[in-house]
Structure 1
Amino acid sequence: MRSITYTSLCAAAIVVMILAGSQAAMAVTCQVTQLAPCASAISSSSPPTPQCCAKLKEQRPCLCQYMKNPNLKAYVSSPNAKKVANTCRVPIPKC
């Protein structure tokens, strides 16, 4: 009986953590200016900084929105932007 209760509590805790994580992902404010730490890496061949990678990961839910914006598409979809995303291990979304 104890192991069933313990297992149920663990499963409930995991579900709560997953839901909390998805809520955090939904709470991201999409502001392309948040990617400013990546500007030098995208505009040149310099490697991205840890701050750039952190911001890119944070803004990941917004990338499709940026790619659909005609004013931003050229920057976000550029070969250097793709290199930065690969270096930061942020998958390029299929939009």
Structure 2
Amino acid sequence: MKSTTLVVFIAFVVVLVSSPPQIESRVVVESTKPPCTTIDLTGCWPELFDKTKPSAQCCGTLKAQQPCYCDFIKNPALRKFATSPEAHLALGFCGIPFPTC
């Protein structure tokens, strides 16, 4: 009886060792940052040139792009727009602090 138990135990261990469990792992990284290649000024044009309080649509658009402001400032093609007096004024009207990058 002892030898039968030992054989069954060894066979069980061999099966376990020879076929390790298949474990699949993935890392999913989701970014909430929008693409930062262009500045979206939807609903902002008249206010930017008139230097008046932006519409709610404009403020919403500017707030959605807030994670991109440092990228805009670092981009030579966008820097002049992102750091303009009009941009500072629009951000201030919308309650968005100007970034410190």
What TM-score results when the alignment is normalised by the length of structure 1? 0.63
The residue identity in structure 2 corresponding to 1:72 is L
For residues 62 and 47 of structure 1, the distance between their equivalents in structure 2, rounded to whole angstroms, comes to 22
Following superposition, the deviation at residue 70 of structure 1 comes to 1.1
Amino-acid identity (%): 33
More helix by share: 1
**Is 1:46 matched up with 2:52?**
yes
Residue 35 of structure 1: SS of its match in structure 2? coil
For residues 61 and 30 of structure 2, the distance between their equivalents in structure 1, rounded to whole angstroms, comes to 14
Higher CA-based Rg: 2
Q: Could you give the per-residue CA deviations for residues 52-93 of structure 1, whole angstroms, max 9, x where no partner exists?
A: 000100000001111111111111101111010000011111
The residue identity in structure 2 corresponding to 1:89 is G
Instruction: Give the direction of change, closer, same or farther, for the CA distance of 1:25–1:79 in structure 2 (3 Å limit).
Output: farther
Contact 1:25 / 1:61 at 8 angstroms: preserved in 2?
Answer: no
* Structure 1 unaligned blocks of 5 or more: 1-22
2:65 maps to: 59
Instruction: Give the direction of change, closer, same or farther, for the CA distance of 1:76–1:27 in structure 2 (3 Å limit).
Output: closer
Structure 1 moving runs of 4+ over 4 Å: none
Following superposition, the deviation at residue 26 of structure 1 comes to 2.5
Q: 2:87 aligns with which of 71, 81, 88?
A: 81
Residue 82 of structure 1: SS of its match in structure 2? helix
* Structure 2 unaligned blocks of 5 or more: 1-28
For residues 53 and 35 of structure 1, the distance between their equivalents in structure 2, rounded to whole angstroms, comes to 9
Following superposition, the deviation at residue 48 of structure 1 comes to 0.8
